Amino acid sequence: MNKILIANWKANPATLAEAKALFALENKKNIIICPPAIYIPTLHATRYTLHDLGAQDVFWEAGAHTGQTSVAMLKQFGVTHVLVGHSERRALGETDEMINKKLKATLTAGMIPILLIGEQEKNDAVRQDILIDQLTRDLEGVSAEDATKIHYTFEPAWAISTTSGNKAESLDNIIAGVEMMKDILQKSFKLQASSFKMLYGASVNGENTQEILSRPELSGAVVGGASLRAEEFKKMVEITAKL
């Protein structure tokens, strides 16, 4: 499998037993499972070692920070990737300055940040400004070498499947958004566009995986709701493995 599927379980499933069952299903390379942090040590201890473990969040320091989890704690349990800047965390008050610190801490620890970028409300006229603003602030002080390690995910928050009836952004707009992001990155870091790994997230499911991930501009997808539906996710893995 060359393209990447990242499963963002969010605050699901309700029990460790269900998490273990889901985790065991798709044991393939280039699948990154991001469970709730409390399940990570147990899942890490299972024999399923082909797919990678990701975290949904991290804090940039250890010490007197009640409720937080440091990079070193995650690394100890085999975490290789960290979601940074998810819109659900931004909506809770996470600022670009905090995202920037999380991104740098993750990179310094040798893990790969999956940086999520995109607008909260649909408004094509301001999309480019929002992408420029988020990327510039989130990547402040990140070296060009580190910038090429990040998985950049275009994820328009309004298209996330949690609200029933939501659909993925149109394919043309997904590609246009990803191209905008690449252009911004290329100019900031003075590197070729092909140096950056671009992904899409929001309402990717069994029906649209083929269409979306066939596009050469995309290296993968972040999947929320559908990654918890075992049969559907299995189908998505099979489709992706053939691309």
- Residues serving a catalytic function are 86, 155
161 binds ligand PGA, rule: CB under 6 A: yes
201 binds ligand PGA, rule: CB under 6 A: yes
The residue sitting closest to ligand PGA, measured at its beta carbon, is: 224
Where does residue 27 rank: exposed (0-12), middle (13-18), buried (19+ CB within 10 A)?
A: middle
Considering the complex, state which of residue 30 and residue 87 has its C-beta at the smaller distance from ligand PGA. Answer: 87
Q: Which residues of 62-101 are buried (b: 16+ CB within 10 A; e: fewer)?
A: eeeeeeebbbebbbeeebebbbbbbbbbbeeebebebbbb
30 binds ligand PGA, rule: CB under 6 A: no
Considering the complex, state which of residue 203 and residue 219 has its C-beta at the smaller distance from ligand PGA. Answer: 203
203 binds ligand PGA, rule: CB under 6 A: yes
Closest contact distance (angstroms) between CB of 151 and ligand PGA is 12
Tokens of 109: 């620890």
Nearest to 103 by CA among 88, 87, 85: 85
Piece in contact with ligand PGA (CB under 6 A), picked from 14-22, 100-108, 158-166, 188-196:
158-166
Provide the 8-state DSSP code for 38.
Answer: G
4 binds ligand PGA, rule: CB under 6 A: no
CB neighbours of residue 2 within 10 Å: 11
56 binds ligand PGA, rule: CB under 6 A: no
> Which residues form the interface with ligand PGA (CB under 6 A)?
8, 155, 160-162, 201-204, 222-226
